[in-house]
Structure 1
């Protein structure tokens, strides 16, 4: 047996952290940037049943597809090259990340509101990828990383992705993992972004029930069920799942693409309106209601109605329980937040320094500079929170972005002025 390499390219290999059909994933260290990275070394002898040409296509396909994408919920690719040890990809390392496989077991299920949040983030990431011309084609729990400690969600492994404007030869034919394939994949019909939405819906089913959507002794049986049957009722295994979420799931995994969500953002929008916390379990915050709430906030005082509607559709709305952390000092977070209802407490180094309530906003420094948070914000009572990042806002018109960025920069300038005045008073 050949011993594992200690170094590949400029990267030190520390330990093996994963293994798949096409190679081994190592924890590596980049001494130039002094950062830990994940390195997938693709070794042809491990690609069972795959000829060298197919293997080469998969490798370069992943490079091209992942290289097109920069999104907070997609694993970032840093480098790719060939070495004596084989082809290798250098990617973002998620220190405490585990695949969602762990949370698809009956005794390991996540809270329903956390499942909604994870699927929301994946839906916005897929919407972004689809707009960039990339269809993943293999969305499954094993290709989604979740870091419980940092509350990070990352889609990975674009090896069989389809890039719509790619001129070089791509991996063709039926691609994906059987249990998570859409009916059109099983039937070898043309695929669109709706294929990924279907697969994400199947992931959501497993996260809510701890059961496979389609069971079978062989692939033929599973494929037949995917095309001809609906999965067992979610309520059979998850009686606490609200009816509104059951309806969202049914639309996501509808066998007919014409009746399925057209875009990831459509799925994300419905999920963001689903309240599964506080005193209104299962209640949907409808689009009209969200507009009325936003219209009353000072933040949107100068926005025309059309731009408020745009913002409502591009943002995430969620309820935060009393005592729940929204942002944590020292952690990465690129979202900007607006408080639609409730009160929050701001603390630094464990000491309370401020309170914020309805209409207040925060997170402008992290949103603009993508730097780590300088303070923590916690819900003091039940909070209705609006959040958005640059990727989500890119879906809005330039005019909506102009109004939004003007308010953000004004907020940032006012806080700098107040800080300067406070410093002068202390002199």
Structure 2
């Protein structure tokens, strides 16, 4: 695709990156076939090809409009289009750049600004989010459905293992997951403890930066990333083997620290090293398949349906590993039809665009439940909470099944 970027952007790092991305797009349209919003809405401008055209116009100097903003807002950033694209267009990076420029040009309504500010200022801060979630859970039975859907029932986390091991890995505790589903990280720690690996949570780590960065507070998101680099670096120097992610939405962001902080001379090298060390839990566990199979074969009797999060299969390009671990220990695990499509959660998307999000959720759940599961598993807190809000079937993180089986 030929480009002629406007003076305000063309010589900036973002402009050079956007130009390189745009030039790879050949407008073949393969991406529309796997775009959830295009399939749902049937509008070319609600698919990747149309959004790329809109962003190209803005980058070349055409003023953005509320219509431009709306079509970019409707994008889930599921990055399914990146998996489909034969030319390797990095759409996710382009839409981050394009949204920021459009938001700078198009003022949002007061109510929209307030909602977005509340989300990006509350969710990343555990000291704010934890008491808010605790209050919501205590009043859950009284909440209207729209709020109840975002407040999972309170659950115990169980004990965190106290044993010391020579093998050590860092764990991103994160911002919302410890309050919404504390058992996920505790279960991960217990499983790895049984396998001779100690998980460490750095005291000063926090939100991975995705929430603020993807809501166009990019400087705030980068500050979150820098804080984590600082919190983890002493442990990296001490020789931890990996930085483990139990939420794929966080993992895809931390794996991009090196790129996102590449222009920060103080952090570029360390950020790149952190990204190289970062592994989704599903990348860690295959090394232990044989050991787990010896002790766990036949323990999990439930029929399991697995929903692979977009941030895992498209963002991180990791496929088959969760199913492989579960099948190695004898689990009857199924994938639904259209397993490549987004469930509609997409971080804060389900709050900002509930109609689209719930339509995609219901479509996904219909396909998952067609596999007749006893339990649905996933690998991202957002997907788990969103899916659980629409079904009576238990929705859990896949590591919780492994932990439960080890305890029996």
The normalised TM-score by structure 1 is 0.23
Give the structure with the larger helix fraction: 2
User: Highest CA radius of gyration, 1 or 2?
Assistant: 1
Give the structure with the larger strand fraction: 1
The normalised TM-score by structure 2 is 0.24
